[in-house]
Amino acid sequence: VQRRILYSMNKDGNTFDKGFRKSAKSVGNVMGNFHPHGDSSIYDAMVRMSQDWKNRATLIEMHGNNGSMDGDPPAAMRYTEARLSEIAGYLLHDIDKDTVPFAWNFDDTEKEPTVLPAAFPNLLVNGATGISAGYATDIPPHNLAEVIDAVVY
């Protein structure tokens, strides 16, 4: 869902150099065009990408209550506003130049990227935590400069 959120917000021009938009609008666009599995999973992922205590490089900038380190829940999506962060642009750079494969969405009305043309390894920088189909993962976040130095080395 993160890829779909980032792609949809970028496609709609909801980028760091423009004003914030209601989170509910972004969630609705993602759900209507790319991820028809309910709004809560989309909003939860959007909020998590905005939390600087969970991500080394936040991909979403959010105005309003996006939760706390103490476990307080975020405000409802109708009360928050969001846009892509500047570093998120590096995950989407040149996406319109046929750099990655696209596939039809769930109802064959629009194409979406199967991967993002990331200019930095987001999985290593922000890490990942989750459980799916009985398998768990817990990849810790890493320093962006150190990851780039290691990749170049």
Tokens of 63: 């105005």
Catalytic residue among 7, 43, 79, 153: 79
Answer for the pair 122, 139: CB distance below 8 angstroms, yes or no: no
Query: Catalytic site residue 79?
Result: yes
Amino acid identity, position 107:
D
Answer for the pair 41, 30: CB distance below 8 angstroms, yes or no: no
Cα separation of 100 and 24, whole Å? 28
Answer for the pair 2, 45: CB distance below 8 angstroms, yes or no: yes
**Any residues with CB less than 8 A from the CB of 125 and at least 6 apart, and which?**
56, 57, 141, 142, 143, 144, 147
Residue 123 sits at the vertex; the CA angle it makes with 77 and 1, to the nearest 5 degrees, is 35
Please give the positions annotated as active site: 79
